[in-house]
Amino acid sequence: MRKLVLLAGLTIGLFSCGSKDDTVVGFKTTMSIQSVFDAGKVAKGELIHAKFQVENTGENPLILSDVKGSCTCTVADFSKDPIAPGEKGFIKATVKTEGASTGSLSKSITVLANTTPASTTIAVKATIIK
């Protein structure tokens, strides 16, 4: 009898751990963000400080989960708290130009958020002069 109760308990436990198809991971929303920050002419060796304004244009809180530059010369900071519908947040990017060659510079930044699509690419552009 004891084995039967143990077997029944394990069976119920295993079947109750199954996943459901209606599980909601998170609510999606929409955002508005400028796609390019143009720093204009920048002397080689200067830092470019770009600021992007992010607006939540959807009906659910906007969560910026990660913001990464395309290389080690681009460092990004961003609003860590959820951005309420109709509110604005920020993305700040600093681009080091000391290793850049003269001419056109374009560095991309990938923004991961609870939007569709989940990944958005923005860019910092400049013309590097001597």
Does residue 75 belong to any structural domain of this protein?
yes
CATH code (residue 75):
2.60.40.10
Average pLDDT of the residues in 2-26: 47
Q: What is the pLDDT of residue 16?
A: 46
* Predicted confidence (pLDDT) at residue 38 exceeds the cutoff of 60: yes
Residue 99 vs residues 65, 68, 71, 102: alpha-carbon distances, Å: 29, 19, 12, 10
Residue 34, in any domain of the structure = yes
- Domain range holding 109? 26-129
Instruction: Look at residue 79 and tell me whether its pLDDT is greater than 80.
Output: yes
Count how many domains the chain has: 1
Q: What is the predicted pLDDT for the residue at 1?
A: 56
pLDDT at residue 22 above 50? no
8 within some domain: no
Residue 18 lies in a domain: no
CB 70, CB 108: distance < 8 Å: yes
Question: Is 111 inside any structural domain?
Answer: yes
**Extended strands (E) in 1-130:** 31-33, 36-43, 47-56, 64-69, 74-78, 88-96, 103-113, 119-129
Evaluate whether residue 100 is within a structural domain. Answer: yes
**pLDDT above 90 covers what percent of the chain?**
78
> Is 17 inside any structural domain?
no
**pTM greater than 0.75 (yes/no):** yes
